[in-house]
Structure 1
Amino acid sequence: MELGKKQVLTVVKQVDFGVYLGSEKEKVLLPKKQVPEGIEPGDPVEVFLYKDSSDRLIATTNEPKLMLGELAVLSVLQVGKFGAFLDWGLEKDLFLPFREQTFKVKPGDECLVTLYVDKSERLCATMKVYEHLRKDSSYQKDDRVEGIIYESSDNFGMFVAVDDQFSALIPKREVTPDLRPGMRITARVTEVKPDGKLNLSVREKAFIQMDKDALMVLKKIEECGGTLPFNDKADAERIKKEFGISKNAFKRAVGHLYKERKIEILADKIVIR
């Protein structure tokens, strides 16, 4: 009997509260409300095995949203003293320990998880899915993809599971202030690495993005009363904080506005003409 997987077991005994499946030496209960009509000893039944709230091995004919060896995005139902509980599609919610979370979840959040068997032989969820993601997608450079951000790194950027299954990264230089773990995003493939992992950007190609950035910068200057108290020689961190874009992107946007004669670049500020 394999915990966390679907398998076909044989009915060995019928009781008032259900049927036992397996063999005389090793059997598991399928509760009465789960028993298919007309079932008899010797009949095969496909079931999923897990442990109930009393840590007893139990069978179900219901379809779980996640089995061992799989990945799935599940909703957080509640957060308890030792972790969160996820909607698993079964009578018992799936436990996600705090130590297995890549970011602090709250009720209503969605998180990408896989299953593991803990030291007590119980099925639990983990958000540490990096090693479980595939690297054999058919996506190419400049393709548009969808995915979920499952982890953030100050050193590397935002880790993304494209289509909830393929390994991808938004490099640190491409991370924008609005991105956060748990978000579903649409992005552009900027590179397919030799090992099959994808690099992504939520920004358009430079010549398209420049127009969008220019409009955003112009609007920001207007909100500042027509004067920005620094120019394109400002510190990169200040630019990132104020506009959420890199210094190079800011310089391209400012240059675009200057050529269109919409702004004047002075020694210590930028003003609208």
Structure 2
Amino acid sequence: MIHIGDYNVLEILRESEQGLYLADKEGNEVLLPNRYVPESFKIWEEIEVFVYLDNEERPVAVTDEPFILRDDFALLRCNQVTEIGAFLDWGLVKELFCPFSEQAFKMKAGGWYLVYCYLDEQTGRLVASSKTNRFLDNKDLTVQQFDEVDLIVSHPSDLGMNVIVNDKHLGLIFSEDIFKDISVGDRLKGFVKKVREDNKLDIVLGKIGYRKIEPNADLVMQRLEDSRDGFIPLNDKSNPDDIKRELEMSKKTFKKAIGTLYKQRLIKIENDGIYLI
């Protein structure tokens, strides 16, 4: 079966004036136009291609790499808006269509939007949607507390920043747990801080509890070693904003980190800051 909106490994079946005809194991054929034909090839040789629908709604194979695949999320630029919807740049000749009904907010040409790409069953076309939450499900969670997870920054809220967790679930990073600049579309690593009774996920970008002391202690050590004289003008009395700006961590985390280093006799803590021993 040839999968629309995804990569396919197909056999080169025959050559024609239009290009190469490729086929899957079941004999389903698709055209690879001349502009994508490699300089050298052999009949029955396998080739990896991306398959989507051309301007005449016919399946076509290309060797270009799209910015998004079917059933995936990505941050895409809106090229134009017409009377039927928006058209997004996804790295292919034919733009990706996002109808007005699938826009969380009305799109504008030149804007960047986090979207989900799916195959519309009624039309058989690939369509984008910026209503990403409806493609996420927290009923049957595949993660638990303390798990490391892959994140895509989704959209801001009054409480912090919503994130997509492992391409499956919706999570939230509270404002007090954000210690560096993050933007919609950013892909990050994080950890499940808490699973609430309603299956809502609290996410943090650093490890939780005792799990995060060691990595942050290493971060402080690295900063000390990189400094000119093994000194950082911060200590346990420093302003939390100064610590956040310099090290992208909370004061509580910083105090635990330097406490660990102090117990290991790797640093000394003075009134003007901490020194590497």
Scaled to the shorter chain, the TM-score interval is 0.5 to 0.7
Say which of 99, 109, 112 aligns to 1:105.
112
State the Cα distance separating 1:95 from its structure 2 match.
Answer: 4.2
Q: Match of 2:199?
A: 196
Matched to 1:207, the amino acid is Y
User: Aligned pairs, how many?
Assistant: 206
State the Cα distance separating 1:251 from its structure 2 match.
Answer: 0.4
Equivalents in 2 of 1:210, 1:244: separation in Å? 14
The percent of aligned pairs where both chains have the same amino acid is 25
* CA separation of 1:229 and 1:162: change in aligned 2, threshold 3 A: closer
**Contact 1:65/1:72, CA 8 A, preserved across alignment:** yes
Partner SS, residue 150 of structure 2: strand
Matched to 2:190, the amino acid is A
Partner SS, residue 80 of structure 1: strand
Paired residues for 1:123-202 under 5 Å: 125-130=128-133, 132-136=135-139, 137-153=141-157, 155-177=158-180, 179-202=182-205
**Contact 1:75/1:86, CA 8 A, preserved across alignment:** no
Equivalents in 1 of 2:197, 2:79: separation in Å? 42
* CA separation of 1:251 and 1:74: change in aligned 2, threshold 3 A: closer
State the Cα distance separating 1:257 from its structure 2 match.
Answer: 1.5
Say which of 262, 267, 273 aligns to 1:263.
267
Partner SS, residue 221 of structure 2: helix
Matched to 1:266, the amino acid is E
The one-character-per-residue Cα deviations of 1:79-123 (angstroms, maximum 9, x if unpaired) are 43657614398955324877448x9539xxxx33368xxxxxxx9
The one-character-per-residue Cα deviations of 1:210-265 (angstroms, maximum 9, x if unpaired) are 12211211222331522222321111111011000010000011111111222222
The one-character-per-residue Cα deviations of 1:33-91 (angstroms, maximum 9, x if unpaired) are 99xxxxxxxxxxxxxxx9x98xxxx865679966xxxx632463x54365761439895
Unaligned runs of 5+ in 1: 1-32, 35-49, 116-122
Equivalents in 1 of 2:94, 2:111: separation in Å? 25
TM-score between both structures, scaled by the size of structure 2: 0.58
**Contact 1:232/1:251, CA 8 A, preserved across alignment:** yes
Q: Match of 2:72?
A: 72
Task: Indicate the larger mover: 140-149 or 160-169.
Answer: 140-149
Partner SS, residue 258 of structure 2: helix
**Contact 1:162/1:168, CA 8 A, preserved across alignment:** yes
Matched to 1:195, the amino acid is D
Structure with larger Rg: 1
Equivalents in 1 of 2:243, 2:160: separation in Å? 18
Equivalents in 2 of 1:62, 1:212: separation in Å? 48
Paired residues for 1:1-273 under 5 Å: 72-74=72-74, 76=76, 79-80=78-79, 85-87=88-90, 91-95=94-98, 99-100=106-107, 105=112, 111-113=114-116, 125-130=128-133, 132-136=135-139, 137-153=141-157, 155-177=158-180, 179-222=182-225, 223-273=227-277
**Contact 1:112/1:164, CA 8 A, preserved across alignment:** no
Unaligned runs of 5+ in 2: 1-29, 32-52, 62-67, 119-125
* CA separation of 1:147 and 1:216: change in aligned 2, threshold 3 A: closer
* CA separation of 1:159 and 1:226: change in aligned 2, threshold 3 A: same
Partner SS, residue 185 of structure 2: coil
Q: Match of 2:123?
A: none
Equivalents in 2 of 1:92, 1:254: separation in Å? 52
**Contact 1:147/1:160, CA 8 A, preserved across alignment:** yes
Q: CA RMSD in A?
A: 4.0
Q: Match of 1:21?
A: none
**Contact 1:190/1:199, CA 8 A, preserved across alignment:** yes
TM-score between both structures, scaled by the size of structure 1: 0.59
State the Cα distance separating 1:141 from its structure 2 match.
Answer: 1.6
Matched to 1:235, the amino acid is N
Matched to 2:146, the amino acid is D
